[in-house]
Each structure stands twice: as C-alpha cells, then as structure tokens.
C-alpha cells in the first residue's frame, strides 16, 4: 500500500521570497523573514513542501526559461536544497485557459499524483486570491499571507489570514488532522 503524505503547497513570489514584478534576475531574490525556519518546521512535522508558481512572464517574453531557472537556483541556494521537495511552474498567461495555471488546481493534482499526496490533510500558503482559489479547487485548506500582494487581497475565500509565513506555519501545526 502506498503511504500518502500531507503537503503544504507554497506560492513562491510574495510568499517565500520578496515580490519582484516578473523576477528574471537571481540577484533580486530575497527570502522573506521566517521562511527557512518555517519550511523546516513543516518538514519535521511530516509535510512535503511543494512550490506551485505561476510564471506567465515566460509566455509574455519578460522572463526566459534560463532566467526562471537561474532565479530558482538562487532561491534553493539561499534556502538550502533539502527544504523543498518539488517545484511546479506554469509558464502560460491568462489568455491560455490552462487548468495548470492558478486559480486552476492542475499543478496541485500533478503533484498529488507524482508524490502520493493526501490532499485532505494538505494546505496551501499564498499571497493572492488566485492561490487561495487554486487550493480550494483541489480541496486543500488555504491560508492567505499578508506579505507580497496579500494585504490588498480580499480575505473572504481563505480559511485563515496570517501576518506572515511563520504565522501561517503556526496555524497549520496547530490545526493539522482537523484539530
């Protein structure tokens, strides 16, 4: 029998690292405060840490694939490679109605199938309504953080609103398994 793991799906820009409009330069990568420690706490609690990131700058021609990869490499260099289990990105823009692009649930489903994830015990953390909608569409409890664009997003759909990543992790660790 396959063991199904709970995951935390992580938006990247504005959630793990500072929001930079279409970040195409690894020199601009700044990890937000408390993110490294938070990812470690999630990992130690048995969660898989999975990045799900819309990168429409690629389809728009603002970010090349090589630049996206350089930014990811810098992120992992700063975070440490062991804290993230997998990354899914969607290069499409809003004109392409791909179910992979958030607010669609496609990247979460891909991750579920590839990593034997139990979505009913999983969470999502993001700074935009489209992140929250993506989580909800996959049946995943979703937390809006007030970093990045989060402070100006309506909180309605989120199951919880957290000041920052560390507070979101606190909430998850206090409410896992429906407690």
Catalytic residues: 11, 13
**Side-chain half-sphere CA neighbours of 31 within 13 A:** 17
Alpha carbons 22 and 90: distance in angstroms, whole number: 13
Instruction: Name the one range near Mg ion by CB under 5 A: 13-21, 36-44, 89-97, 150-158.
Output: 13-21
Alpha carbons 33 and 18: distance in angstroms, whole number: 10
Alpha carbons 124 and 116: distance in angstroms, whole number: 16
Cis peptide before 103 (omega within 30 of 0): yes
Judged by CB under 5 A, how many residues of this single chain contact Mg ion? 5
- How near is the Cβ of 134 to Mg ion at its closest, in Å? 11
Instruction: Name the one range near Mg ion by CB under 5 A: 39-47, 94-102, 104-112, 122-130.
Output: 122-130
Q: What tokens were used for 148?
A: 């990045």
Residues 6+ apart with CB under 8 A from 86: 48, 50, 51, 111, 114, 115
14 or 104: whose CB is closer to Mg ion? 14
Pick one of 71, 84, 127, 147: the residue that binds Mg ion (CB under 5 A): 127
Instruction: Name the one range near Mg ion by CB under 5 A: 67-75, 97-105, 123-131, 136-144.
Output: 123-131
- How near is the Cβ of 37 to Mg ion at its closest, in Å? 20
What mask, x for binding Mg ion by CB under 5 A, covers residues 139 to 158?
---------x----------
Binding residues for Mg ion (CB under 5 A): 11, 13-14, 127, 148
């Amino acid at each position: 029998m396959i063991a199904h793991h709970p995951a935390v799906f992580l938006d990247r820009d504005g959630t793990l690292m500072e929001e930079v409009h279409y970040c195409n330069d690894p020199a601009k990568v700044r990890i937000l405060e408390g993110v490294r420690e938070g990812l470690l706490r999630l990992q130690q609690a048995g969660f898989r840490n999975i990045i799900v990131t819309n990168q429409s700058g690629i389809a728009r021609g603002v970010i090349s694939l090589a630049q996206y990869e350089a930014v990811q490499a810098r992120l992992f260099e700063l975070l440490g490679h062991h804290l993230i289990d997998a990354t899914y990105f969607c290069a499409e823009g809003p004109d392409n109605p791909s179910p992979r692009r958030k607010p669609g649930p496609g990247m979460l489903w891909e991750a579920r199938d590839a990593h034997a994830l139990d979505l009913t015990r999983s969470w999502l953390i993001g700074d935009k309504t489209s992140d929250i909608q993506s989580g909800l569409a996959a049946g995943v409890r979703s937390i809006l953080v007030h970093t990045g664009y989060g402070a100006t997003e309506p909180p309605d759909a989120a199951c919880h609103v957290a000041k920052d990543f560390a507070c979101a992790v606190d909430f998850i660790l206090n409410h896992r398994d429906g407690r």
